[in-house]
Amino acid sequence: MWGGKVEVPTGYLAKIPIHAPSNDTQLYNEVQYLAGIAHLARKGYLKLCTSAELKAEQFRQPIGRFQGYGYADHNVFAGIRFESIDGFKLDLSNPKQAQLDRIASCNDPVYQTLLAQFGQKQSLDAYHIYTAEKFGLFAFLHIDFKLDGSLRRKSKATPFEDLKTRVLLPSQFAKMINLLPVHTNLLTLGDDDTFFTTRADLHAQDQKRHRPKSQP
């Protein structure tokens, strides 16, 4: 009702999850543990960190990967501060090459040994793991299945057996602390935002998140 007297047809708007609860893909299996990890961080049971090079890499990626493209997208990490363990690096001119050149100048033996195992194509992965090890972090969490495959093949090689920092998928971390998965169709049901209804019984037709089409 507009002004309490005039009925205006506004249509119907609802939040719809991307994935169905029955989704059995490897990606969805990992995504289901993110809400629990975020909840533990909000409660102060664990601390989530980032690094200068992770932020530099994020700067080059589409922003929707980290907070969604739509007005009603739900970000499980919203409001959580990821403190950088080693400051920030901002490259405005050719940021990818500037970052690759910067990490190539690192002569630390730990990084060089990791780089020898991963190869130049995964130099950033090697550097992120090196940084987590250097600052004594419990784990480096990721959802990179190529990286996971490399680690599985090289887990017995030096220096992986000597690393104190664990390199884990969310599901692997969850198994260590008995953390249960949460289906994504349930995540927004407890939101205080009552403007959008959540249709937990629906999901995207192809179960994939899409970037909005460019406007003409």
Per-residue confidence (pLDDT) for residue 56, from 0 to 100: 93
Report whether pLDDT(88) > 50: yes
| Predicted local distance difference test score (pLDDT) of residue 204 | 87
pLDDT at residue 193 tops 60: no
Report the amino acid identity of residue 174. A
Question: What's the pLDDT at 170?
Answer: 98
The pair of structure tokens assigned to 60 is 């080059």
Phi-psi region of 131 (alpha: psi -120 to 50; beta: other; left: phi over 0): alpha
pTM given for the model: 0.86
Cα–Cα distance measured from residue 77 to residue 81, given in angstroms and rounded to the nearest whole number = 9
What confidence category does residue 121 fall into, taking pLDDT thresholds of 50, 70 and 90? very high
Nearest to 114, CA basis, from 49, 163, 54 = 163
Q: What is the average pLDDT value for the chain, to the nearest integer?
A: 88
Band of residue 75 on the pLDDT scale cut at 50, 70, 90: confident
Least confident segment among 23-32, 72-81, 95-104, 124-133: 72-81
Mean pLDDT, rounded, for 76-81: 90
Q: Does 80 score more than 60 pLDDT? A: yes
Average pLDDT over residues 173-190: 90
Burial of 109 (0-12, 13-18, 19+ CB in 10 A): exposed
By the 10 Å C-beta count (0-12 exposed, 13-18 middle, 19+ buried), 5 is classed as exposed
| Contact assessment for residue 5 and residue 190, using Cβ atoms and an 8 Å cutoff | no
